[in-house]
A and B are shown apart, each in its own frame.
Chain A
Amino acid sequence: DTAVSQTPKYLVTQMGNDKSIKCEQNLGHDTMYWYKQDSKKFLKIMFSYNNKELIINETVPNRFSPKSPDKAHLNLHINSLELGDSAVYFCASSQGEGLDYSTDTQYFGPGTRLTVL
C-alpha cells in the first residue's frame, strides 16, 4: 500500500550514460515533484507538475527531462550523466487543488540513490 513509490532504489552507472527514474503515487493527488538531495543532505526542488502540466522548473540542466504520462506518474530522465549528478532523488506528491499549493503537505517517496562513476 505504498503511497509514493520510486524505482529503482539504487542506480549505479557510468558517466555519459542515460538513465530514468520512475515515480508513482496512489494517493489521488494532482501535483507531483522531483527533489535532489546532495551529499550534505540539502534538499532542493527541481520540477513540479500539476495534472500533467509543468508548473515549476528550477534552474536545472536541460539534460534532466521530466515526463508525466498521467497525474499518478512522474518520471525523470537524465541524459549524459555527470559525476555531479550523484545524489538522492526524491519524488513527492501533494493534493494540489485550487490555485495555491503552499499549505499542502507533501508525501515523499523513499528516494533513488544515483551514483555516477
Chain B
Amino acid sequence: AQSVTQLDSQVPVFEEAPVELRCNYSSSVSVYLFWYVQYPNQGLQLLLKYLSGSTLVKGINGFEAEFNKSQTSFHLRKPSVHISDTAEYFCAVSGGYGGATNKLIFGTGTLLAVQP
C-alpha cells in the first residue's frame, strides 16, 4: 500500500526567508507525486507534480520540488516566502498499479505560517 508522511505539522518562517516542507512516501511500485496548497477557507489547488523525467519540478508561485527515489522523498522548497504563502500544504501520491481505480493518497498536511 502507498502512504505519505509529512513530518512537520507546522513550519513557522519569517517573510523573505527560504523554506523547505518535507514529504516522504512509501510504495512498492513507481509513483506519481503531487503538492497541493490549501489557502484558508478554500479548496486545494495544484502547486506542482512529478510524473517522470527531470527530478527537479518547478511549480506555480515560485515553488519547486525535488524527487529523490533513493530517499523516497519529494520535498517542497521556495527560496523566499511571502506573507501570502501562508497556507496548508499537502503532499500526495498516486499511481503505480494502473487502471482507473488509482487514487490520490494525501499526507496530513503542513501549515506554512509566514511571519512579517
Chain A residues closer than 8 Å to B99, beta-carbon distance? 99-100
Q: How large is the interface on A (under 10, 10 to 19, 20 to 34, 35 or more residues)?
A: 20 to 34
B46 and A55: CB pair below 8 A?
no
- A50 to chain B: closest residue by CB: B100
Contact partners of A90 in chain B: CB under 8 A: 43-44
Please name all residues of chain B whose beta carbon is closer than 8 Å to the beta carbon of A92 when the two chains form the complex: 43-44
Q: Does A72 lie at the interface of the complex (its beta carbon under 8 Å from any beta carbon of B)?
A: no
Known A4-B43, A90-B44, A102-B95; judge A48-B103 contact (CB<8 A).
Answer: yes
- In the complex, A106 has a CB within 8 A of chain B: yes
Q: Which of B69-77, B78-86, B104-112 contacts A (4 or more CB under 8 A)?
A: B104-112
Asked if residues B46 and A110 are in contact (CB atoms below 8 Å), the reply is no
Number of A-B contacts (CB under 8 A): 65
Report if B25 contacts A (CB, 8 A). no
Which of A50, A96, A105 is in CB contact (< 8 Å) with B46? A105
Q: Type the 1/0 row for A87-101, where 1 means its CB is closer than 8 Å to any CB of B.
A: 000101000100111
> How far, in angstroms, from A105 to B106 measured CA to CA in the complex?
14
Q: Check if B95 sits within 8 Å of A103, measured CB to CB.
A: yes
B48 → chain A, closest Cβ, in Å? 10
A9 and B90 CA atoms in complex are apart in Å by 22
List of B residues within 8 angstroms of A56 by Cβ: 101, 103
Contact across chains for B100 and A110 when beta carbons are under 8 A apart: no
The answer to whether the Cβ of B32 comes within 8 Å of any Cβ in the partner chain is yes
A108/B45 contact (C-beta < 8 A), A42-B106, A43-B90, A102-B32 known: yes
Asked whether any CB of chain A lies closer than 8 Å to the CB of B98, the reply is: yes
| B100 near A103: Cβ-Cβ < 8 Å | no
Which of B45, B51, B96, B103 has the most chain A CB atoms closer than 10 A to its own CB? Answer: B103
| 20 A-B residue pairings within 8 Å (CB atoms) | A40-B108, A42-B106, A42-B108, A43-B90, A48-B103, A92-B44, A101-B102, A102-B32, A102-B94, A102-B96, A102-B98, A102-B102, A103-B49, A103-B94, A105-B49, A107-B45, A108-B43, A108-B44, A108-B45, A111-B41
Residues of B within 8 A of A (CB): 32, 36, 38, 41-46, 49, 51, 88, 90, 94-96, 98-104, 106, 108-109
